Amino acid sequence: MHKENIYQPTEALFMRWTGLEATLRSFLTEAVNEPLFVFSPFITTSYAKELLEHQGEVHIVTSWRKDHLLAGVSDLELYNLVKQHPNWHLYINDRLHAKVYCRNFSTLLMGSANLSRRGMQDTEQSNHEVMIKTVCDAESKQHMLSILQNSLVMTDDHFDTYQTWFASIEQAIQSVDTGSVVEPTSTNELFLVSQLPASTSPHRLWSVLREDAKVDNSWNEFGAAEHDINNLGMRVRHFSTYEEFKNALTHKMTELRFFTAFMERIDTDGFRFGYGKEWVQTNCIDDPVPYRKDLTRTVQNLFAWVVALYPDEFEILQPRHTQIIRRIAPQERNELCSQTGRKLNASWYIATIGYPDSGVQFKSCPNCSLYAGELIFRLGRVREAISQQSSFGFTDKRITANNPDGIHSWCLECRGTGDPATHTDRAYTVTELSTSQGGLVNITKKGV
């Protein structure tokens, strides 16, 4: 290895130890089938080809700052090399100064040497460099992922922009412009599972980091919370209440492209939990690709985060032993009852005295309620012969904790015609039910 700054009382010596290139070559022969991450501001394309040619999946992060490109220490030809390998990826980060060579976030070389002959080789013109080999800990991994997340993913369109700019500059003039040719956005297409939430819910993330809840050490819950908060670049101490934190978190999550792509896949029909695991497995770029059984907790978290952050846009149904996440149709959202202030698109329940041991329970129909502008109730459940006497009917697909029998959301007539104007029989407003029940009306979200 090269080493520098060895100080003697009488003089300062700069010594270069041999073998830095040999150390890197040896490192590159280890676990060649696992992803390699290279962080180097200056890269010589021909040297990168020589050293990395036989690697499988490679992620290269480098700087293409204007002055670096004009000085020749950064090279646009690197993209053409990357394109020759289907499993190679190039990221541009003009703030990069670190030099790190990491194998699958397991082991790494780090120090001062760029991926160039002057940085790695032992000649009279070589730089004085140092590198050490160490284990990649969780904090180091998170820092590297953060750099990747905030880098520009190089594409053909971006490359054309760089080439056009480079061709327009008079090469004989020394540039002092240290800016970027293309400014990276806050989002990219880096679909790593590690970008997705590791905490079970946003509120749980808040509670764990605020030390308001006992941490579950059986699966390193505190480590999961630290992963999430670092991944988002946030700190809970900056917020006084959970609502403030949640609002900021909702905005931050839009910068995680993997998370937003998952939300975009959810339609009004929804999909089951098993498909969620399949989607994450298919779309992630992790190598090796995780088994679906290993994605159970990840998809559980995704379902919980989506609904917690966007409760007016998504809901979770639970027929039998699985979950379905679905997007709430626009016509179902936001309208409030003129009499009670409750959301018209939700199911509400009113039970007669003595229920469930006796009597009946009424349920609101969201479609009828939206049409009327106030909650419209119909007969929901009767303890005997439930299905025969209900105005809604039942299905396993809608079984949840609040709906253990799986009663349908819309009434039978709305499901048949979709037009609530065609049927008004057997319908009651809140006022009508209150009158018929002697004023004892308790509206709840629980249908039991």
Distances (CA, A) of 307 to 302, 324, 407: 9, 12, 21
Average confidence (pLDDT) over 64-77:
89
**Could you tell me the residue ranges of all domains in the chain?**
6-168, 193-326, 349-436
- Give the chain's end-to-end CA distance (angstroms, integer): 72
Helix or strand or coil: residue 382?
strand
pLDDT of residue 292: 93
Distances (CA, A) of 379 to 365, 382, 387: 10, 8, 11
Q: Reply yes or no on whether the pLDDT at 284 is more than 70.
A: yes
Tokens of 62: 């480098």
Phi and psi of 105, rounded to 5°? Answer: 55, 35
Please write the tens of the pLDDT for every residue from 386-416. Answer: 545 788 888 887 787 778 888 888 898 888 8
Nearest CA-CA partner of 198 in 223, 234, 235? 223
Q: Reply yes or no on whether the pLDDT at 262 is more than 90.
A: yes
**Contacts of 430 by beta carbon, 8 Å cutoff, 6+ apart:** 337, 339, 340, 350, 374, 375, 377, 441, 443
Q: How far is CA 186 from the centre of its chain?
A: 13
- Distance of alpha carbon 369 from alpha carbon 179, whole angstroms: 57
Distances (CA, A) of 135 to 7, 115, 138, 225, 230: 28, 20, 10, 22, 20
Amino acid at 270: G
Could you tell me if 140 and 194 are in contact, meaning their C-beta atoms sit under 8 angstroms apart?
no
Q: What percent of the chain has pLDDT over 90?
A: 39
Could you tell me if 383 and 358 are in contact, meaning their C-beta atoms sit under 8 angstroms apart?
yes
Give the CATH H-level superfamily of domain 6-168: Endonuclease Chain A (3.30.870.10)
Q: Reply yes or no on whether the pLDDT at 385 is more than 70.
A: no
Distances (CA, A) of 70 to 154, 157, 170: 19, 21, 9
Q: What percent of the chain has pLDDT over 70?
A: 88
If pLDDT is split at 50, 70 and 90, which confidence band does 357 have? confident
| Full-model pTM | 0.52
Report which of residues 145 and 295 the model is more confident about.
295
Report which of residues 220 and 356 the model is more confident about.
220
Instruction: Kindly tell me the burial class for residue 276, based on how many C-beta atoms sit within 10 Å of its own C-beta (0-12, 13-18, 19 or more).
Output: buried
Q: Which of 4-8, 169-173, 351-355 has the highest mean pLDDT?
A: 351-355
Please write the tens of the pLDDT for every residue from 287-346. Answer: 678 899 999 999 999 999 999 999 878 988 876 667 899 988 766 666 788 888 888 888
Could you tell me if 68 and 45 are in contact, meaning their C-beta atoms sit under 8 angstroms apart?
no
Phi and psi of 12, rounded to 5°? Answer: -100, 125
Q: Reply yes or no on whether the pLDDT at 383 is more than 70.
A: no
Q: Reply yes or no on whether the pLDDT at 209 is more than 70.
A: yes
